Amino acid sequence: MRIVQINATCGIGSTGNICMDISKLLTERGVENYILFSGQTNGYDKGIRCADKKYIRWQAGKARLLGNYGFNSKRATKRMIAELEQIKPDIVHLHNIHGHDCHLKMLFEYFKEKRTKLYWTFHDCWAFTAYCPHFTLVKCEKWQNGCEKCPLYRNHSWVFDRSRVLYQKKKSSFTGLDLTIITPSQWLAELVKQSFLKDYPVTVINNGIDLTVFYPMESDFREKYEIPQNKTVLLGVAYGWDVRKGLDVFVALSQRLDPTEYQIVLVGTNESIDQKLPPNIISIHRTLNRQELAGIYSAADLFINPTREDNFPTVNIESLACGTPVLTFHTGGSPESIDAKTGEVLPAEDIAYLKKRIESIRKEGTYSKDDCVRRAQQFDKNVKYREYMDAYGI
Protein backbone atom coordinates (compact mmCIF):
# COMPACT_ATOMS: atom_id res chain seq x y z
CA MET A 1 0.00 0.00 0.00
CA ARG A 2 1.09 3.58 -0.72
CA ILE A 3 -0.34 6.63 1.03
CA VAL A 4 0.29 10.28 0.18
CA GLN A 5 -0.60 13.17 2.45
CA ILE A 6 -0.94 16.69 1.03
CA ASN A 7 -0.48 19.71 3.29
CA ALA A 8 0.82 23.27 3.10
CA THR A 9 3.80 22.42 5.37
CA CYS A 10 5.81 19.37 6.39
CA GLY A 11 6.90 18.90 10.01
CA ILE A 12 6.30 22.59 10.80
CA GLY A 13 3.25 24.06 12.53
CA SER A 14 0.27 22.12 13.88
CA THR A 15 -0.87 20.54 10.61
CA GLY A 16 2.68 19.87 9.44
CA ASN A 17 3.44 18.03 12.68
CA ILE A 18 0.23 16.01 12.44
CA CYS A 19 1.23 14.90 8.93
CA MET A 20 4.69 13.91 10.12
CA ASP A 21 3.33 11.98 13.11
CA ILE A 22 0.92 10.06 10.86
CA SER A 23 3.76 9.40 8.42
CA LYS A 24 5.95 7.96 11.18
CA LEU A 25 3.17 5.59 12.25
CA LEU A 26 2.72 4.48 8.64
CA THR A 27 6.44 3.88 8.29
CA GLU A 28 6.45 1.81 11.49
CA ARG A 29 3.79 -0.38 9.90
CA GLY A 30 5.83 -0.79 6.72
CA VAL A 31 3.57 1.41 4.59
CA GLU A 32 5.24 3.42 1.82
CA ASN A 33 4.18 7.01 2.29
CA TYR A 34 5.02 10.59 1.35
CA ILE A 35 3.99 14.16 2.19
CA LEU A 36 3.52 16.63 -0.67
CA PHE A 37 3.95 20.22 0.52
CA SER A 38 4.91 23.69 -0.68
CA GLY A 39 5.57 25.74 2.45
CA GLN A 40 7.91 25.36 5.41
CA THR A 41 9.61 22.09 6.32
CA ASN A 42 11.84 20.73 9.05
CA GLY A 43 13.63 18.57 6.48
CA TYR A 44 11.58 15.42 7.15
CA ASP A 45 12.75 12.80 4.67
CA LYS A 46 9.26 11.73 3.52
CA GLY A 47 8.45 15.26 2.33
CA ILE A 48 8.34 16.19 -1.36
CA ARG A 49 8.33 19.91 -2.14
CA CYS A 50 6.02 21.03 -4.96
CA ALA A 51 6.71 24.79 -4.90
CA ASP A 52 9.04 27.29 -3.24
CA LYS A 53 8.47 30.26 -0.95
CA LYS A 54 8.82 32.84 -3.74
CA TYR A 55 6.19 31.08 -5.85
CA ILE A 56 3.75 30.84 -2.92
CA ARG A 57 4.14 34.56 -2.13
CA TRP A 58 3.44 35.38 -5.77
CA GLN A 59 0.31 33.20 -5.80
CA ALA A 60 -0.92 34.73 -2.54
CA GLY A 61 -0.58 38.20 -4.05
CA LYS A 62 -2.31 37.07 -7.21
CA ALA A 63 -5.21 35.66 -5.19
CA ARG A 64 -5.60 38.94 -3.29
CA LEU A 65 -5.52 40.93 -6.52
CA LEU A 66 -7.98 38.76 -8.46
CA GLY A 67 -10.09 37.57 -5.53
CA ASN A 68 -9.95 33.92 -6.67
CA TYR A 69 -8.49 32.30 -3.56
CA GLY A 70 -7.93 28.57 -4.13
CA PHE A 71 -7.98 28.70 -7.92
CA ASN A 72 -4.45 29.81 -8.75
CA SER A 73 -1.14 27.93 -8.45
CA LYS A 74 -1.47 25.84 -11.61
CA ARG A 75 2.25 25.13 -11.85
CA ALA A 76 2.44 23.76 -8.30
CA THR A 77 -0.67 21.67 -8.95
CA LYS A 78 0.86 20.17 -12.08
CA ARG A 79 3.94 19.23 -10.07
CA MET A 80 1.71 17.71 -7.40
CA ILE A 81 -0.20 15.68 -9.98
CA ALA A 82 3.07 14.54 -11.58
CA GLU A 83 4.26 13.25 -8.21
CA LEU A 84 0.96 11.45 -7.66
CA GLU A 85 1.24 9.88 -11.11
CA GLN A 86 4.68 8.57 -10.27
CA ILE A 87 3.82 7.29 -6.78
CA LYS A 88 0.39 5.89 -7.70
CA PRO A 89 -1.00 6.01 -4.16
CA ASP A 90 -3.84 3.81 -2.93
CA ILE A 91 -4.96 6.60 -0.60
CA VAL A 92 -4.52 10.38 -0.67
CA HIS A 93 -5.03 12.17 2.63
CA LEU A 94 -5.61 15.92 2.36
CA HIS A 95 -5.01 18.36 5.20
CA ASN A 96 -4.54 22.12 4.83
CA ILE A 97 -4.63 22.83 1.09
CA HIS A 98 -5.39 26.53 1.30
CA GLY A 99 -1.83 27.80 1.52
CA HIS A 100 -1.95 29.16 -2.04
CA ASP A 101 -0.30 25.97 -3.20
CA CYS A 102 -2.89 24.29 -5.40
CA HIS A 103 -5.59 24.94 -8.01
CA LEU A 104 -8.65 23.20 -6.59
CA LYS A 105 -10.44 22.55 -9.87
CA MET A 106 -7.36 20.97 -11.47
CA LEU A 107 -6.52 18.83 -8.46
CA PHE A 108 -10.01 17.51 -7.82
CA GLU A 109 -10.68 16.82 -11.49
CA TYR A 110 -7.61 14.60 -11.32
CA PHE A 111 -8.97 12.82 -8.24
CA LYS A 112 -12.28 12.22 -10.00
CA GLU A 113 -10.61 10.93 -13.15
CA LYS A 114 -8.42 8.51 -11.17
CA ARG A 115 -11.21 7.58 -8.74
CA THR A 116 -8.79 8.29 -5.93
CA LYS A 117 -9.67 7.11 -2.43
CA LEU A 118 -9.59 10.35 -0.44
CA TYR A 119 -9.49 11.27 3.22
CA TRP A 120 -9.60 14.94 4.13
CA THR A 121 -8.95 16.30 7.61
CA PHE A 122 -10.65 19.66 8.04
CA HIS A 123 -8.56 21.83 10.38
CA ASP A 124 -11.05 24.69 9.93
CA CYS A 125 -14.20 25.55 7.95
CA TRP A 126 -12.57 26.70 4.70
CA ALA A 127 -13.61 23.73 2.55
CA PHE A 128 -17.33 24.60 2.69
CA THR A 129 -17.14 28.41 2.55
CA ALA A 130 -16.08 30.78 -0.20
CA TYR A 131 -13.19 32.38 1.68
CA CYS A 132 -13.47 31.90 5.42
CA PRO A 133 -11.68 29.44 7.70
CA HIS A 134 -13.92 30.76 10.50
CA PHE A 135 -17.15 32.76 10.59
CA THR A 136 -18.30 32.65 14.22
CA LEU A 137 -17.26 36.20 15.09
CA VAL A 138 -19.30 37.76 12.28
CA LYS A 139 -22.19 35.35 12.94
CA CYS A 140 -22.46 34.46 9.26
CA GLU A 141 -24.48 31.43 8.17
CA LYS A 142 -24.55 32.05 4.43
CA TRP A 143 -22.30 29.02 3.89
CA GLN A 144 -25.25 26.73 4.61
CA ASN A 145 -26.96 27.68 1.36
CA GLY A 146 -24.50 29.71 -0.71
CA CYS A 147 -21.95 32.40 0.07
CA GLU A 148 -22.38 35.88 -1.36
CA LYS A 149 -21.62 39.44 -0.26
CA CYS A 150 -19.01 38.06 2.11
CA PRO A 151 -18.50 40.28 5.18
CA LEU A 152 -14.89 39.08 5.41
CA TYR A 153 -13.84 39.04 1.77
CA ARG A 154 -11.36 41.89 2.25
CA ASN A 155 -9.34 39.60 4.50
CA HIS A 156 -8.60 37.58 1.37
CA SER A 157 -9.12 39.93 -1.60
CA TRP A 158 -8.01 43.53 -2.03
CA VAL A 159 -10.66 44.47 -4.58
CA PHE A 160 -13.19 41.86 -5.66
CA ASP A 161 -15.78 39.95 -3.66
CA ARG A 162 -16.00 36.70 -5.61
CA SER A 163 -17.59 34.77 -2.76
CA ARG A 164 -20.61 33.62 -4.78
CA VAL A 165 -18.46 32.28 -7.62
CA LEU A 166 -15.89 30.65 -5.31
CA TYR A 167 -18.59 28.88 -3.31
CA GLN A 168 -20.08 27.38 -6.45
CA LYS A 169 -16.64 26.40 -7.76
CA LYS A 170 -15.82 24.60 -4.53
CA LYS A 171 -19.19 22.88 -4.47
CA SER A 172 -18.65 21.65 -8.02
CA SER A 173 -15.06 20.56 -7.34
CA PHE A 174 -15.80 18.76 -4.07
CA THR A 175 -18.81 16.69 -5.16
CA GLY A 176 -18.66 13.30 -6.87
CA LEU A 177 -15.61 12.09 -4.91
CA ASP A 178 -14.72 8.91 -3.04
CA LEU A 179 -14.21 10.96 0.12
CA THR A 180 -14.25 10.49 3.87
CA ILE A 181 -14.09 13.70 5.90
CA ILE A 182 -12.26 13.76 9.24
CA THR A 183 -12.70 16.54 11.79
CA PRO A 184 -10.75 17.08 15.04
CA SER A 185 -13.92 18.13 16.89
CA GLN A 186 -17.54 17.09 17.08
CA TRP A 187 -18.45 20.76 16.69
CA LEU A 188 -16.88 20.91 13.23
CA ALA A 189 -18.41 17.55 12.28
CA GLU A 190 -21.86 19.01 12.97
CA LEU A 191 -21.12 22.01 10.76
CA VAL A 192 -20.03 19.73 7.90
CA LYS A 193 -23.39 17.95 8.16
CA GLN A 194 -25.10 21.30 7.53
CA SER A 195 -22.95 22.16 4.50
CA PHE A 196 -22.95 21.07 0.85
CA LEU A 197 -20.63 18.24 1.95
CA LYS A 198 -23.31 16.66 4.16
CA ASP A 199 -23.63 13.49 2.07
CA TYR A 200 -20.06 12.37 2.78
CA PRO A 201 -19.22 10.21 5.81
CA VAL A 202 -17.68 12.22 8.66
CA THR A 203 -15.37 10.80 11.33
CA VAL A 204 -14.07 12.65 14.41
CA ILE A 205 -10.40 12.11 15.27
CA ASN A 206 -9.17 14.53 17.93
CA ASN A 207 -5.77 16.15 17.65
CA GLY A 208 -3.16 14.62 19.92
CA ILE A 209 -0.13 15.93 21.79
CA ASP A 210 3.28 14.57 22.72
CA LEU A 211 3.09 13.50 26.36
CA THR A 212 6.86 13.02 26.48
CA VAL A 213 7.12 16.81 26.09
CA PHE A 214 4.05 18.06 27.96
CA TYR A 215 3.91 16.79 31.55
CA PRO A 216 4.14 18.37 35.04
CA MET A 217 7.71 19.46 35.66
CA GLU A 218 9.78 21.58 37.98
CA SER A 219 10.13 25.08 36.58
CA ASP A 220 12.08 28.20 37.47
CA PHE A 221 9.55 30.35 35.62
CA ARG A 222 8.32 32.20 38.71
CA GLU A 223 11.85 32.97 39.84
CA LYS A 224 12.89 34.09 36.36
CA TYR A 225 10.04 36.60 36.16
CA GLU A 226 10.04 37.44 39.90
CA ILE A 227 6.48 36.27 40.49
CA PRO A 228 5.75 35.71 44.21
CA GLN A 229 4.49 32.25 45.19
CA ASN A 230 1.29 33.70 46.63
CA LYS A 231 0.26 35.14 43.27
CA THR A 232 -2.08 33.14 41.01
CA VAL A 233 -0.58 32.85 37.52
CA LEU A 234 -3.16 33.10 34.73
CA LEU A 235 -1.72 31.85 31.45
CA GLY A 236 -2.77 32.41 27.85
CA VAL A 237 -1.04 30.83 24.85
CA ALA A 238 -1.78 31.63 21.22
CA TYR A 239 0.05 32.00 17.95
CA GLY A 240 -1.52 35.08 16.42
CA TRP A 241 -2.96 37.12 19.30
CA ASP A 242 -5.96 39.21 18.29
CA VAL A 243 -9.63 39.67 19.15
CA ARG A 244 -10.36 36.19 17.80
CA LYS A 245 -8.04 34.69 20.40
CA GLY A 246 -9.34 36.95 23.19
CA LEU A 247 -6.49 39.42 23.57
CA ASP A 248 -8.95 42.09 24.73
CA VAL A 249 -10.29 39.71 27.41
CA PHE A 250 -6.86 39.49 29.05
CA VAL A 251 -6.49 43.26 28.91
CA ALA A 252 -9.89 43.60 30.62
CA LEU A 253 -8.94 41.02 33.27
CA SER A 254 -5.71 42.88 33.99
CA GLN A 255 -7.80 45.93 34.83
CA ARG A 256 -10.38 44.10 36.96
CA LEU A 257 -8.32 41.60 38.99
CA ASP A 258 -6.28 42.57 42.04
CA PRO A 259 -2.66 42.91 40.79
CA THR A 260 -1.34 41.85 44.19
CA GLU A 261 -3.09 38.49 43.84
CA TYR A 262 -2.90 37.70 40.11
CA GLN A 263 -0.26 37.69 37.39
CA ILE A 264 -1.33 37.37 33.74
CA VAL A 265 1.20 35.80 31.35
CA LEU A 266 0.72 35.71 27.58
CA VAL A 267 2.85 33.47 25.36
CA GLY A 268 3.11 33.86 21.59
CA THR A 269 3.14 37.65 21.45
CA ASN A 270 5.38 39.98 19.44
CA GLU A 271 6.50 43.60 19.54
CA SER A 272 3.29 44.80 17.91
CA ILE A 273 1.16 43.01 20.53
CA ASP A 274 3.37 44.37 23.32
CA GLN A 275 2.24 47.89 22.42
CA LYS A 276 -1.38 46.91 23.12
CA LEU A 277 -0.68 45.37 26.53
CA PRO A 278 -0.68 47.10 29.93
CA PRO A 279 2.56 46.86 31.92
CA ASN A 280 1.12 44.39 34.44
CA ILE A 281 0.91 41.59 31.81
CA ILE A 282 4.04 39.54 31.19
CA SER A 283 4.55 39.12 27.45
CA ILE A 284 6.63 36.24 26.07
CA HIS A 285 7.37 36.21 22.37
CA ARG A 286 7.14 33.16 20.14
CA THR A 287 10.77 32.15 20.48
CA LEU A 288 10.67 29.51 23.20
CA ASN A 289 10.86 25.78 22.50
CA ARG A 290 8.24 23.26 23.56
CA GLN A 291 10.12 22.20 26.70
CA GLU A 292 10.19 25.81 27.88
CA LEU A 293 6.49 26.09 27.08
CA ALA A 294 5.77 22.97 29.15
CA GLY A 295 7.63 24.59 32.05
CA ILE A 296 5.41 27.67 31.81
CA TYR A 297 2.23 25.54 31.69
CA SER A 298 3.50 23.68 34.78
CA ALA A 299 4.15 26.92 36.67
CA ALA A 300 0.72 28.39 35.91
CA ASP A 301 -2.29 27.99 38.20
CA LEU A 302 -4.99 28.43 35.57
CA PHE A 303 -4.99 28.32 31.78
CA ILE A 304 -7.44 30.83 30.29
CA ASN A 305 -8.60 30.32 26.70
CA PRO A 306 -11.14 33.03 25.81
CA THR A 307 -11.08 32.05 22.14
CA ARG A 308 -13.97 33.23 20.00
CA GLU A 309 -13.23 31.04 16.96
CA ASP A 310 -11.54 27.66 17.18
CA ASN A 311 -11.76 24.08 16.00
CA PHE A 312 -9.98 21.93 18.61
CA PRO A 313 -7.23 23.96 20.28
CA THR A 314 -4.35 21.75 21.38
CA VAL A 315 -3.20 24.41 23.87
CA ASN A 316 -6.00 23.24 26.16
CA ILE A 317 -4.64 19.69 26.14
CA GLU A 318 -1.04 20.85 26.57
CA SER A 319 -2.07 22.73 29.68
CA LEU A 320 -3.96 19.76 31.14
CA ALA A 321 -1.01 17.48 30.42
CA CYS A 322 1.14 19.77 32.58
CA GLY A 323 -1.41 19.58 35.40
CA THR A 324 -3.01 22.99 34.88
CA PRO A 325 -6.84 23.31 34.65
CA VAL A 326 -8.55 25.19 31.83
CA LEU A 327 -11.24 27.86 31.67
CA THR A 328 -12.54 28.43 28.15
CA PHE A 329 -15.40 30.15 26.39
CA HIS A 330 -18.14 27.99 24.90
CA THR A 331 -16.74 28.41 21.41
CA GLY A 332 -16.25 25.91 18.60
CA GLY A 333 -14.59 22.68 19.72
CA SER A 334 -12.67 24.27 22.59
CA PRO A 335 -14.95 22.77 25.31
CA GLU A 336 -14.47 19.21 24.05
CA SER A 337 -11.06 18.60 25.61
CA ILE A 338 -12.06 19.33 29.23
CA ASP A 339 -14.48 17.78 31.70
CA ALA A 340 -15.98 18.75 35.07
CA LYS A 341 -12.84 17.67 36.94
CA THR A 342 -10.39 19.60 34.78
CA GLY A 343 -11.93 22.96 34.01
CA GLU A 344 -15.02 24.89 33.11
CA VAL A 345 -16.77 26.08 29.96
CA LEU A 346 -18.02 29.65 30.35
CA PRO A 347 -20.49 31.73 28.34
CA ALA A 348 -18.67 33.51 25.53
CA GLU A 349 -18.06 37.24 26.08
CA ASP A 350 -19.03 37.12 29.77
CA ILE A 351 -15.85 38.63 31.21
CA ALA A 352 -17.56 39.43 34.53
CA TYR A 353 -18.40 35.77 35.06
CA LEU A 354 -14.91 34.71 33.97
CA LYS A 355 -13.46 37.04 36.63
CA LYS A 356 -15.84 35.63 39.24
CA ARG A 357 -14.83 32.02 38.46
CA ILE A 358 -11.12 32.87 38.54
CA GLU A 359 -11.56 34.40 42.00
CA SER A 360 -13.61 31.42 43.22
CA ILE A 361 -11.03 28.92 42.01
CA ARG A 362 -8.26 30.86 43.76
CA LYS A 363 -10.15 30.58 47.05
CA GLU A 364 -11.48 27.03 46.68
CA GLY A 365 -8.66 25.21 44.83
CA THR A 366 -11.29 23.33 42.82
CA TYR A 367 -9.15 21.19 40.50
CA SER A 368 -6.39 18.64 41.03
CA LYS A 369 -3.23 18.22 38.99
CA ASP A 370 -3.72 14.45 38.78
CA ASP A 371 -7.20 14.79 37.27
CA CYS A 372 -5.86 17.15 34.62
CA VAL A 373 -3.02 14.80 33.68
CA ARG A 374 -5.37 11.80 33.49
CA ARG A 375 -7.69 13.72 31.17
CA ALA A 376 -4.80 14.71 28.88
CA GLN A 377 -3.71 11.08 28.55
CA GLN A 378 -6.82 10.48 26.42
CA PHE A 379 -5.23 12.73 23.80
CA ASP A 380 -1.83 11.05 23.57
CA LYS A 381 -0.81 11.50 19.93
CA ASN A 382 0.42 7.91 19.79
CA VAL A 383 -3.12 6.79 20.57
CA LYS A 384 -5.12 9.39 18.65
CA TYR A 385 -3.21 9.09 15.38
CA ARG A 386 -3.58 5.30 15.38
CA GLU A 387 -7.23 6.09 14.71
CA TYR A 388 -6.07 7.24 11.28
CA MET A 389 -4.63 3.77 10.72
CA ASP A 390 -8.03 2.33 11.58
CA ALA A 391 -9.68 4.74 9.14
CA TYR A 392 -7.28 3.65 6.39
CA GLY A 393 -8.05 0.01 7.20
CA ILE A 394 -4.44 -0.96 7.98
Q: Given pLDDT bands bounded at 50, 70 and 90, which one contains residue 131?
A: very high
pLDDT for position 46: 98
Report how far residue 286's alpha carbon sits from residue 148's, in angstroms, rounded to the nearest whole number.
37
pLDDT > 90: what percent of the chain?
96
Q: What's at 137, amino acid-wise?
A: L
- pLDDT above 80 (res 293): yes
pLDDT for position 365: 83
pLDDT for position 13: 87
Fold of the CATH domain 221-379:
Rossmann fold (3.40.50)
- pLDDT above 80 (res 199): yes
- pLDDT above 80 (res 263): yes
Cα torsion 248, 98, 100, 156: sign:
negative
Residues 311-320 have a mean pLDDT of 96
Poorest-pLDDT segment among 58-62, 212-216, 275-279, 283-287? 283-287
Q: Given pLDDT bands bounded at 50, 70 and 90, which one contains residue 240?
A: confident
Report how far residue 44's alpha carbon sits from residue 21's, in angstroms, rounded to the nearest whole number.
11
- pLDDT above 80 (res 130): yes
- pLDDT above 80 (res 288): no
Residues 54-77 have a mean pLDDT of 94
Residues 244-264 have a mean pLDDT of 97
- pLDDT above 90 (res 173): yes
- pLDDT above 80 (res 286): no
Q: Given pLDDT bands bounded at 50, 70 and 90, which one contains residue 44?
A: very high
- pLDDT above 90 (res 391): yes
Q: 2-204 sits in which CATH class?
A: alpha beta
Give 79-100 pLDDT, tens digit per residue: 999 999 999 999 999 999 998 9
pLDDT for position 239: 86
Residues 118-140 have a mean pLDDT of 96
Q: What's at 28, amino acid-wise?
A: E
Report how far residue 147's alpha carbon sits from residue 141's, in angstroms, rounded to the nearest whole number.
9
Domain ranges of the chain: 2-204, 221-379
Q: With both helix axes pointing from N to C terminus, report the angle between 104-114 and 74-87 in degrees, rounded to the nearest 10.
A: 20
- pLDDT above 80 (res 321): yes
Nearest to 310 by CA among 287, 336, 289, 285: 336
Element (H, E) at 346: strand 343-346
Q: What is the DSSP letter of 154?
A: G
pLDDT for position 366: 84
pLDDT for position 194: 97
Q: Given pLDDT bands bounded at 50, 70 and 90, which one contains residue 281?
A: very high
- In this chain, the answer to whether the domains covering 2-204 and 221-379 adopt an identical fold is yes
What is the pTM for the complete model shown?
0.94
pLDDT for position 385: 93
Nearest to 208 by CA among 73, 25, 5, 8: 25
Nearest to 123 by CA among 5, 25, 257, 222: 5
Give 345-373 pLDDT, tens digit per residue: 999 999 999 999 999 999 988 899 999 99
Q: Which conformational region is residue 323 in: left (phi greater than 0), alpha (psi within -120 to 50 degrees), or beta?
A: left
Give 373-390 pLDDT, tens digit per residue: 999 999 999 999 999 999
